[in-house]
Amino acid sequence: QVQVVESGGGVVQPGRSLRLSCVASGFTFNTYGMNWVRQAPGKGLEWVALISSDGSDTYFADSVKGRFTTSRDSSKNTLYLQMNGLRAEDTALYYCARGVGKNDGSLDSWGRGTLVIVSS
């Protein structure tokens, strides 16, 4: 069955970097756009980034633009989120989600998330 599993979260100091990974299985990875969505503790959902199926196009929320990048390795069925210049407000549970439909924006399969805590 379709599955995505995130990893790489942890506690990091402000200004430092962290890379999250998301391993996909159960579907043809290189035919789907992939998204990152985050959820701060006790808060709602915030879309973070989208990468197209072939990796040629990436899009970001204004809150992370210029600090975060996303990439994918189809040989490993893996999605990445490189987070630089981390801030306290980036503390959240980060989900990867498969995108379907218009703009790859209907998020039909989600992982359990990986927790990022930015704190000194």
Partner 1 sequence: DIQMTQSPSSLSASVGDRVTITCRASQSISSSLNWYQQQPGKAPKLLIYTTSSLKYGVSSRFSGRGSGTDFTLTISNLQPEDFATYYCQQSYSIPFTFGQGTKLEIK
Residue 103 within binding range of partner 1, rule CB under 8 A: yes
Could you tell me which of 18, 17, 14 has the C-alpha nearest to residue 88? 14
Tell me which residues in 44-73 interact with partner 1 (CB under 8 A): 44-47, 50, 59-62
Task: Determine which residue in the list 3, 71, 106, 119 makes contact with partner 1, applying CB under 8 A.
Answer: 106
Q: Identify whether the C-beta of residue 11 lies closer than 8 Å to the C-beta of residue 119.
A: yes
Alpha-carbon span 63 to 39, nearest angstrom: 13
Residue 25 within binding range of partner 1, rule CB under 8 A: no
* Contact range with partner 1 by CB under 8 A, out of 7-15, 73-81, 84-92, 110-118: 110-118
Cα atoms in the 13 Å half-sphere on the side-chain side of 118 = 18
In angstroms, give the least distance from the CB of 2 to partner 1: 11
Measured CA to CA in angstroms, residue 33 lies from 14, 43, 89, 94 at distances of 30, 25, 26, 17
Q: Amino acid letter at 9?
A: G
In angstroms, give the least distance from the CB of 13 to partner 1: 27
Binding site for partner 1 (CB under 8 A): 35, 37, 44-47, 50, 59-62, 95, 100-103, 105-113
